[in-house]
Chains A and B, each alone.
Chain A
Amino acid sequence: MKFAGPGKSIRVRLLLWYALVLVVAVGGFAGALYFQVRQDRLRAIDARLEAGATYLAATVRGLPPHELERRPSRERGFDAPRRPEDDRFGRPPPGDAPDGRRARREFGPPRRPPGPPGGPTDRPFSGPPAERLQALTELPGSLLDDPREPAHDAPYFVVWRADGSVLAESARPEPVERPIRFLQGAGDPPGFRWRADLRESLLLGPRGTLILVGKPAGRELGELRTFAWQIAGSGLIVLAVGLAGAWFISRSIAQPIAAISNTASEISATNLTRRIETTGIDQELYGLATVLNNTFARLEAAFERQSRFTSDASHELRTPLAVIRAHAELALSKPRSAEEYRETLSACLKATSRMATLVDGLLVLARSDAGRLDAQFSHVDWTGVIEDVVDQYRPQAEAAGIALSAQLDQPAAVSGDATLLARVSSNLLSNALRYTPAGGHVRVALARENGSAVLSVEDTGCGIPREDQGKVFERFFRADKARSRALGGYGLGLAICKSLVEAHRGTIGFTSTPNRGTRFEVRLPLVSETRAAQSPAAGYLPPPSAGSDASGSGPTEA
């Protein structure tokens, strides 16, 4: 099927398909029904005509031979001029049948011939030959007498002799000539033909006679026509009802789809908090709507995370900016002493270095997200890297009165970037030192376990509150904001650690008991000394698993 424009619509295609199927089915059924009925009606007529013809043939068989061979006289032949006393079929008035004559003239129902008393004459007339001819003016009553039949529909007949002259005939509505093609040849079964709406049966009788029995079938044809119209009407009604149903059903499919797509486009265009209505919607579409809703929910969560991150980042960047600006404005508002200027400058410097640290952290995260860490991947001695970091923090631990111990006697070769790996251990160590009170312990250890190197940083600090344990790897998350800020944290350290560890195909997790301490664990795959060269190309790292939220790794909500 080829359609411009609307053909693209499923609904229209569906309707057209329905229409085609209905037209074929209903049309086929109606046609078959009509022809079946028509066939039945015609067969009934033909059977009557055939019975009439057979009766006549039997009657003719019993006639004296001279009747059948007699050549028509000039006066009696059908070429002869009609005499005034002849009736309109060119036959002499049968004086011996006074009532029959009137009946024939009026095309009335043929009267039963005065046959033997008792019983209808449906068997051939078997009287003496002279009476037989007499009997040949009528067909037997049982073949003719159909009480439902109006007079003008009554059957008629003609019997021709072999030479073409009329042997016998009944009254009939129209003149009929002997059909040429039946002149020769013989026998059964009788042929049937239509002459306008006259149905006629032709039968070759004994000794070259030709018998024609006919019947006007106008009434039957009219009834069949009415029947045809009735079937056609019913068919059209069925078609209309079917198409209307299809229209409504297809609308009930198309409408919710349109509604879903409208809502969906509104959601993407305006706000992500809206959802597609799923109550009272069809089963097939419910699945679609649910899938879309889930997608929107995920999208919304991602957007929210993103906007929270942006807002947090801007907050963290704007605050030191505000400090710098206010200091500078205040210092410039009037002449100050050298000491005041020095104070202003050192406050600005402090704020600047704070911003620098923050920008650096954000940059690492952004690069890691984009999979573009400027990492130089090589074969790294992780133990050595950690050792260096621990040494860096020793003075700080000593100043804070924290015992810092390291158990780093096992060599561990991993594939990675030494600077980034140092950053991971440095972040973990500074966190541990930051949240451990004086007199506490911080233990750093590196172990080998099932082909992995495991770095653990354990402290006896304040621990992470249970309700916050699921969020520690979120960006800008701080369990205690005031304290964290006072201690110089931004809430990015652990997010950076997670991002970097994942970039190294490792995992990071922790266990923490409030007021007892926290233990962070970083697992990286070990590389054998010989395969060190097969490390990934420098400068490119696949992005870490999407979202990089806390749920990705580590014991959460323990």
Chain B
Amino acid sequence: MRVLVIEDETELLGVLVQALREEGYAVDAAADGEEGLFRAQSWNYDALVLDLMLPKIDGWQLLETLRRDKKTPVLVLTARDALDDRVRGLDGGADDYLVKPFQLAELFARLRALIRRSNGQANSAIEIGDVVIDVRSRSVSQNGKAVALTAREYGLVELLALHRGEVVTRTQMYDHLFDENEDSLSNLLDVHVSNIRRKLGKDFIETRRGLGYIIDAS
């Protein structure tokens, strides 16, 4: 999953990016509203973490502009906790609201819920045949037994599972699994897929030649 963090407080931006990366997200960062809006408009992020008090373009304005053509889930992060601010943020197109100082665990949980809901998945556990993907604990089990996946492998499985029954293109995969700082080779994706197939069974991920990959094609 790829998220964009827009926060003008450089210290906070740094620690957020690091924490989200450790959580398995591909993370892009923007330090002001202008850059943030540009990035948010040019990529299909899985979610946006947005501070409202931003230089150049403030958070509300950014939301309003973004909402004209993007449905990216937005988690607003701000030190303003007045009711009016929260109402204004949510009415302005935010999907969720978190007041500083927040706990990282809560931020992660809200992000997961946002991404899950935006993919039309209400439950935090996705069942595909005998495989159960627990989005909350970021773990995968088969026939009740835990299967050890790397963070990258898990991200790929989660992405495919959230789009079950649809073909996910290689471009989409790159967009959602790697952030711009990662210098990944295209065959790396194939390596991850073959590793997953080794762990979860050959038929878990199907290949559609020239298109991409699909889970649960029925």
Residue ranges of A at the interface with B (Cβ–Cβ < 8 Å): 307, 311, 314-327, 329-330, 333-334, 347, 350-351, 480-483, 485
Contact = CB atoms under 8 A, between A and B. Distances in A.
B79 A319 contact: yes
Contact of A347 (B11, B19, B53, B100): B11
A207 B99 CA distance: 128
A240 to B, nearest CB: 57
A326 B16 contact: yes
B8 A485 contact: yes
Nearest to A485: B8
A318 B105 CA distance: 18
27 contacts: A307-B82, A311-B82, A314-B79, A314-B81, A315-B53, A315-B78, A318-B101, A321-B101, A322-B9, A322-B12, A322-B101, A323-B15, A325-B104, A326-B12, A326-B15, A326-B16, A326-B19, A326-B102, A329-B104, A330-B15, A330-B22, A330-B104, A350-B11, A480-B55, A482-B55, A482-B56, A483-B55
User: Which 7 residue pairs of A and B lie closest in terms of their CB atoms, listed nearest first?
Assistant: A482-B55, A318-B79, A315-B79, A322-B100, A322-B101, A321-B101, A318-B100
Contacts of B99: 318
A350 B16 CA distance: 17
A407 to B, nearest CB: 37
Given A314-B80, A326-B12, A329-B103, 6 more contacts: A319-B9, A319-B12, A324-B101, A326-B16, A327-B15, A485-B9
B18 interface: yes
Nearest to B82: A311
Nearest to B19: A330
Interface string B41-82: 000000000000101100000000000000000000011111
Contacts of B104: 325-326, 329-330, 333
A347 B15 CA distance: 10
Interface in B1-60: 8-9, 11-12, 14-16, 18-19, 22, 32, 53, 55-56
A324 B11 CA distance: 9
Q: How large is the interface on B (under 10, 10 to 19, 20 to 34, 35 or more residues)?
A: 20 to 34
Contacts of B12: 319, 322-323, 326
B30 to A, nearest CB: 13
A429 B101 CA distance: 33
B52 to A, nearest CB: 9
Interface of B: 8-9, 11-12, 14-16, 18-19, 22, 32, 53, 55-56, 78-82, 85, 99-105
A325 B101 contact: yes
Contacts of A317: 79
Contacts of B102: 322, 325-326
Contacts of A481: 53, 55
A321 B11 CA distance: 11
Contacts of A320: 11
Nearest to B78: A315
Nearest to A310: B82
Contacts of A326: 12, 15-16, 19, 101-102, 104
A61 B99 CA distance: 128
B216 to A, nearest CB: 33
Query: Of residues A316, A318, A326, which shows the largest number of chain B Cβ atoms within 10 Å of its Cβ?
Result: A326
Contacts of B80: 311, 314-315
B66 to A, nearest CB: 20
A482 B8 contact: yes
A491 B101 CA distance: 21
Nearest to A327: B15
B20 to A, nearest CB: 10
A329 B105 contact: yes
Given A307-B82, A329-B19, A351 B11 contact: yes
Contacts of A318: 79, 99-101
Contacts of A330: 15, 18-19, 22, 104
Nearest to B8: A482
A198 to B, nearest CB: 95
Contacts of A322: 9, 12, 79, 100-102
Contacts of B15: 323, 326-327, 330, 347
Query: Of residues B32, B56, B82, B101, which shows the largest number of chain A Cβ atoms within 10 Å of its Cβ?
Result: B101
B100 A319 contact: yes
Contacts of A311: 80, 82, 85
Nearest to A348: B11
Contacts of A334: 22
Contacts of B55: 480-483
Contacts of A319: 9, 12, 79, 100
A319 B82 CA distance: 15
A492 B9 CA distance: 18
Nearest to A344: B15
A181 B11 CA distance: 129
A447 to B, nearest CB: 39
Contacts of B22: 330, 333-334
